[in-house]
Every structure is written in structure tokens, then in C-alpha cells.
Amino acid sequence: MNILDVNKLKNRDYIVLLPKCDFDIRKSVEYSFENVFYLDYELTKEHADVLIDFINSKSNQIILFDYDNFYRLILPHIRKSKKIKWIIKSSLAQLTNGCVRATFTNLMEFCDRNIVNEIGCLDKATYEVLKNAGYKAKYIMLDIKSNVKKAKKSNSIGIIGNDYDPNHNIYNELSALKLVDYSYIKIIKNMPSTNHFINFFNIKEKQVDNFEDVIKDNFVNLYCNFTANNRELILSSLDMGIPCLLGNSDMFDNNQKLKKYLILESDDDINEIASKIKIIKNEKDKIISEYKKFREKYSAESKKSIEKLLK
């Protein structure tokens, strides 16, 4: 929906602004919230004026994700009686990335100006740091529509990270494939070095052009990140009945069985990645059975986290 049509909303309690840089979590934001406006078109002062008037006269709060320059046109003009809540996607471990650092710097500026009422964090450790530092923060768990299925029999492997992001551990994952049995891999390639690596080590590959095709119809998906996890992808994989091997993640800290199977102790240990892939292949049914129990609890906790944010 275009911001110029904001007055057509039926539920006017809040609106959500999602910038283009966060479209990788679009599915989960849209499922978890109502009234999501995507900032993927040219925004003008007219858009700002319409939105400011709507918030000040008809709504209670505005929820922002990460950062867009458009925020500077609206935030100083929102009445103090209205609530402004700002959600950050990234972890503090990603501050070495200039874009993440810029987002965090802008957030801190608006907090210091007493414009932002509350910070929402998709990363639990970031939430704990900000809370201990005295900021009013909440931990947010986004969700997607859940329908855990039984996967087709397969011998392929999906690699669902981004090869341009060093936090996503792609080349250790590819290296581990030389130690396991598989038919082919599926991966989205952005870097020429990835093609070179795959060809040089004679890794068997099936060409795909979107993450949905990467994830589906495998016996395991690899997402062994050092940081920068997108839970939407993890949930999508496991909801398809496909175990997803993870690196540095607290996602299964409350389920020791899933943590044993799906979390690496050492993210960059090629031998451990290969060993976990073999174990997952043999224990797949057991893993998915346990995940179904986890999934119900996760959805309930996600709903509670959203409700707490919207209060």
C-alpha cells in the first residue's frame, strides 16, 4: 500500500515502515504485523505530511525497521503523546559492516533526542546489551505461517547464506561437502570466486535463481553463519520438513535435542559440519518430530513478543 492511501486503513492503532534493505524479512514482518508499508518507491514531502497527519490525529504509534532517510522527514514532527518504536534486525556483532553501523548510529541519535520510545531487537544478545545499558528494549520474535510438512526423499543439499557476506561461512560449508555423500548442491551465487571454488573442487551443482528453490526438496540446508541469521529462512526450511544446520545461533537454546543436532559447536570446523550433515541424514525423522513440538511453542512466544511490543 502507498503511504498516500494510509487513511484507508481499518485498523489504525499502528503502522509499520519497512525499508528496502529489510525485504529479506518481508514475509515474516508481514505475517507478524498488520499495516506494513514498504519503502521501495520515491518518497516525498507529500508522503511525509500525509503520514505525520495520520499518526498525530488518527493512530497511536509507528513502528520503524532499521533505517531509511524518510524517517528524518517524519520523526521530529510526531507528537510526544504518540509512541515511536524502532526495530533493529542486525546483531551488535555485525557492527563491522558500515551499513549496520550507520543504522545503529541513527537509532542511537534519535534515542538520545528522546524521540524513540522503545527499541525492538530481533537478536536476543543485542536486546540484552541494550537493556543492561539502560535503554527501554524488547526482544522480538518474528514468525511465518506454519504448516510443517514431510519432505520428499532427496540427496541434495541447499546452501542458503549469501556468498558476499563473510559472516555466512559459505566456503567452509562448500569445503565440508567433499567429506559427505550428496547428489548436488543448490546455491545463489553473487561472487565470481564462488563459481571458481565450485569448479575447482568439482562440487556438483544444480542451477537455481531464488532462495525458495534453494531451500526446498533437500535432505539438509546449511546456514552455518558466524552471525547475521535470518530466522525466516530457518523456519521456512524446517517447516518444509528439511533440517537446517546452524552456526552461531541461540534459536534452539530452549530445546537441547534440536541444539544437539542442528547447532555447531565450532562454526568454522569443516569436519564438524560434515559430521553433523551425516548425523542429520540418519536422524531426519527424529529431528522433524522434535521440531513440530518446538514450532508450536515458538509461534506462541512470537505472538506474545509482538503483543508486548504493541502495548
Tens-place pLDDT, residues 99-127: 999 999 999 999 999 999 999 999 999 99
pLDDT at 297 exceeding the cut of 90? yes
C-alpha 243/C-alpha 265 separation (Å) is 17
Letter for the amino acid at 217?
D
Greatest Cα pair distance in the chain: 62
What gap in Å lies between CA 289 and CA 188, rounded to an integer? 29
Distance (Å, whole) CA 169 – CA 267:
8
pLDDT surpassing 90 at residue 1: no
Question: What is the secondary structure of 130-174 as a DSSP string?
Answer: HHHTT--EEE----------PPPP---EEE-S-TT-GGG-HHHHH
Average pLDDT of the chain, as a whole number: 97
DSSP H helices in the chain: 26-32, 45-58, 71-74, 98-112, 124-132, 170-176, 192-200, 211-215, 231-239, 256-262, 270-282, 284-310
Q: What is the pLDDT of residues 188-226, one digit of tens each?
A: 999 999 999 999 999 999 999 999 999 999 999 999 999
Per-residue pLDDT tens digits for 230-239: 999 999 999 9
pLDDT attached to residue 307: 98
Q: Which amino acid is at 64?
A: L
Q: Are 29 and 76 in contact (CB under 8 A)?
A: no
Task: Name residue 150's amino acid.
Answer: K
pLDDT of residue 30 exceeding 90 = yes
DSSP 8-state code for residue 263 = B
User: In this model, does residue 252 exceed pLDDT 90?
Assistant: yes
